[in-house]
Amino acid sequence: MDGYDVMTAAQSSKRRCTGESTSFCSTRDDLQTQLAATGMAAAVFKIVGEPRGGRRAMHFLPKGDILACSSTCNILCEWASHYVRSFALQRNGLSSIGLAIVGRIAPRFSQLRSVCFHSSAESRVNMDDAAVTTLARYCVELTDIDIRGTTQSKRSLITDASIISLANGCSHLKYVKLDYCVNITDASIARLASQCSALVDLSVIGCKKLTVATIAALSQTCVGLESLHFGFWYLKPAPARAQGSYVGCASVTDAAISALFLHCPKLTSVIFKGCTSLKAFTLPDGVTTIGDRAFQHCFLLTAITLPDGVTTIEDGAFSCCSSLTAITLPDGVTIKGSAFDNDLTVYCNE
């Protein structure tokens, strides 16, 4: 069935459609003319749905108009509620978004599995606890959520309340990205770990209130964890610099990391940026990737044993590790960018 047939079939089902302002038309131009009158910004959403027929029908809808149309067209509303599985914000053309938009999305797309509200320096997405709580209330089938901020655009409005609402409402979560949510604490991550035991990928870079307790909570319940990006490193405010210019996560110890690897044997990708108490440990055989700046600023790290399975070491992985003087690499490893400091001696296995 081609796009024309999809529209024709929809038009023939007028008994299921109010026809107020978004009744389906037989030509693309007529439909777009009507949809243009909805006033929805074309660059707001990129929505990917299924099945095939619904996706073809969506070809006729300018980006973003699905929200306005589904409010007046019963056909599209029913399709959207059952088959739209994911959406992500466009990176350009959008200055802010928050509870108002989430409040419109969540009730209509109850079968969402994946959402992305990743904020960037160019597109500041103003998510807060109310928005995340609304999402968790209606979209209980979520498996993938990305509400990351950046070093320039931190998630200061997201607190433990957001993470706890996700843990309580979305127990199927597997992929969670919370970078630079600077106000979340160990308590909410512990709840997330206990309620979402199927967690596969967790990223909490720049979450400066998290401690070794987060590592312990993950070790206890998330046996299927495959990727963990943890740690922070930031410049102190000027009045506090007398005791040292930078702050990292000093509570994470060698023992905590070893316990994590023991209880989470599927871990393949790790980052422990700024964990300044790490001294010496062995990465398990399952680890294949040393992430971007994975052990950056681990000042006390003197020795680390890499397994033969490591295939990639990302840029800056061991930069600013002043106590690490030598490292032996496995055969065939790919090194990206400046993974090591210039004064580090690198050996390769014969």
pLDDT digits (tens, 9 = 90+) for 271-304: 999 998 999 988 888 899 898 889 988 989 998 8
Average pLDDT taken over every residue of the chain: 75
Does 251 have pLDDT greater than 70? Answer: yes
Does 256 have pLDDT greater than 90? Answer: yes
79 or 38, greater pLDDT? 79
Residues 293, 11: Cα–Cα separation, whole Å: 55
DSSP 281: E
Total-model pTM: 0.74
Q: Which residue, among 350, 304, 309, has the nearest Cα to 333 in the 3D structure?
A: 309
Give the pair of three-digit tokens for residue 324: 């690490």
Query: What's the rounded mean pLDDT across residues 211-238?
Result: 88
Strand order from edge to edge, sheet including 114-116: 45-49, 84-89, 114-116, 144-146, 175-177, 201-203, 227-231, 269-273, 289-290, 312-313, 334-335
257 or 79, greater pLDDT? 257
Does 266 have pLDDT greater than 60? Answer: yes
Domains of the chain: 211-350 (3.80.10)
Query: What's the rounded mean pLDDT across residues 202-228?
Result: 94
How would DSSP label each residue in 58-95? HTTS-TTHHHHHHTT-HHHHHHHHHHEEEEEE-SSS--
